[in-house]
Structure 1
Amino acid sequence: MARPINEEKRLERRKRILEEAVVLFAESGYSNTTTAIIAQSVGVTPGTIFQYFPSKEALYYAAVLEPLADIQAKSLACLQQEETPGVLIKNMVAEQFNHIYFYINELRLVQSVLGQRIRFPELTQKVLESIKVMTDAIECVYAKGQLMGEFNKSFSPAMISRAYISFLNGVGLTLAESIIHHPEWENLKGHAFYLFAPIQPKEKLEESE
């Protein structure tokens, strides 16, 4: 059944408010971004904001958590396909590097929250829970890959998954808007996969001897 037109308009307006809030919060921070500024940027009255979000804090939570949930869903989908662990991890790396480009402001918000844990304790906890879901999924796929001889067995899956996520966050934080123009962009993807210590054909041959 098709949604009523009014409902579609409502959802579209909420989406516009949220997208603009993400950009403004990422650029100016929580304190310097008022609902009036967001409303002006969207082209609505300040009161309209509160028809969709009960408070500025609720809008900030949504600006952080909703894109993060979208990113997580896409990343987890990469790990749930019918492929070998090595291919799944490689696909996930490619997908998540695309996230850095398409979700620059969203990821900057997440990093901002993690840098202000005392100020946003509840939000920080939700972000960390989301990250744990991702690292747990990576651990399971990586451990299976180790058993199948695709990855070096001397590394801890937990350590590998956390090292990778840290690397991913570091790339996004240091390169930011210049990321697409970075001359080593494609090489960084390759290096990210290299962190998982994939066993090369020569190494597999040596192990079997």
Structure 2
Amino acid sequence: MARPVNEEKRLERRKRILKEAVILFAEGGYSNTTTAIIAERVGVTPGTIFQYFPSKEALYYAAVLEPLADIQVKSLACLQQEGTPGALIKNMVKEQFNDIYFYTNELRLAQSVLGQRIRFPELTQKVLESIKVMTDAIESVYAEGQLMGEFDKSFSPAMISRSYISFLNGVGLTLGESIIHHPEWENLKGHAYYLFAPIQPKEKLEESK
């Protein structure tokens, strides 16, 4: 059954509010971004904001956590498809590098929260929980790849997954919006996959002797 027109309009307005809030919070920070500023950017009255979010803090939480949930769903889907562990991880790397470009402000906002752990303890914990879901999934696929001889067995899956996520965050922080135009864009994706220590065909042959 199709949603009533009013409900569709409501969802669309909420989406617009959240989109502008992400940009403004990422650019100006929590303290400098008021609901009045967000309302003005969206083209609604300040009171309208509170019809969708009970407080500025609730809006901030949504601006941080909802995009992270979207990114997580897409990344986990890459690891749950048919294929070898190596192929799944390659697809995930490609997807997450695209996310660095398409979710620049959203990821910048999440990183900002992690840099203010004392100020936002509860929100920080939720962001860390989201990261753990991702690292746990990577560890599982990586360990399976090690058993199949696709990855070096001398490395810890936990260490590999955390190193990769740290590398990904570093790339986002250093290059941001310019990453897709950077001359090393494709090379960076390749290096991200090399962090998983894939075994090359020649190495596999030597291991089997």
**TM-score normalised by the chain length of structure 1:** 1.00
CA positional deviation for 1:130: 0.4
Deviations 1:143-163 (A, max 9, x none): 000000000000000000000
CA positional deviation for 1:181: 1.4
CA positional deviation for 1:131: 0.3
For residues 161 and 5 of structure 1, the distance between their equivalents in structure 2, rounded to whole angstroms, comes to 44
For residues 181 and 94 of structure 2, the distance between their equivalents in structure 1, rounded to whole angstroms, comes to 17
Deviations 1:33-89 (A, max 9, x none): 000000000000000000000000000000000000000000000000011000000
Q: What is residue 90 of structure 2 aligned with on the other side? A: 90
Deviations 1:180-200 (A, max 9, x none): 211100100000000000000
Deviations 1:16-40 (A, max 9, x none): 0000000000011011000000000
For residues 25 and 182 of structure 2, the distance between their equivalents in structure 1, rounded to whole angstroms, comes to 25
CA positional deviation for 1:97: 0.2
For residues 8 and 158 of structure 2, the distance between their equivalents in structure 1, rounded to whole angstroms, comes to 43
CA positional deviation for 1:179: 1.2
For residues 107 and 120 of structure 1, the distance between their equivalents in structure 2, rounded to whole angstroms, comes to 16
- Local SS of the residue matching 2:155: coil
For the aligned residues, what is the CA RMSD?
0.4
CA positional deviation for 1:10: 0.1
- Local SS of the residue matching 2:39: helix
For residues 193 and 154 of structure 1, the distance between their equivalents in structure 2, rounded to whole angstroms, comes to 17
For residues 130 and 176 of structure 2, the distance between their equivalents in structure 1, rounded to whole angstroms, comes to 22
For residues 179 and 150 of structure 1, the distance between their equivalents in structure 2, rounded to whole angstroms, comes to 29
- Local SS of the residue matching 2:49: helix
- Local SS of the residue matching 1:20: helix
For residues 8 and 103 of structure 2, the distance between their equivalents in structure 1, rounded to whole angstroms, comes to 24
For residues 199 and 115 of structure 1, the distance between their equivalents in structure 2, rounded to whole angstroms, comes to 36
CA positional deviation for 1:177: 1.8
For residues 5 and 73 of structure 1, the distance between their equivalents in structure 2, rounded to whole angstroms, comes to 28
For residues 59 and 156 of structure 1, the distance between their equivalents in structure 2, rounded to whole angstroms, comes to 39
Q: Percent identity?
A: 90
1:60 aligns with 2:60: yes
**TM-score normalised by the chain length of structure 2:** 1.00
- Local SS of the residue matching 1:67: helix
- Local SS of the residue matching 2:76: helix
For residues 91 and 3 of structure 2, the distance between their equivalents in structure 1, rounded to whole angstroms, comes to 35
- Local SS of the residue matching 1:90: helix
Consecutive unaligned residues in structure 1, runs of 5 or more: none
Q: What is residue 206 of structure 1 aligned with on the other side? A: 206
For residues 147 and 208 of structure 2, the distance between their equivalents in structure 1, rounded to whole angstroms, comes to 14
Number of residue pairs the alignment of both structures matches: 209
CA positional deviation for 1:134: 0.3
CA positional deviation for 1:178: 1.3
For residues 35 and 189 of structure 1, the distance between their equivalents in structure 2, rounded to whole angstroms, comes to 38
Deviations 1:117-172 (A, max 9, x none): 00000000000000000000000000000000000000000000000000000000
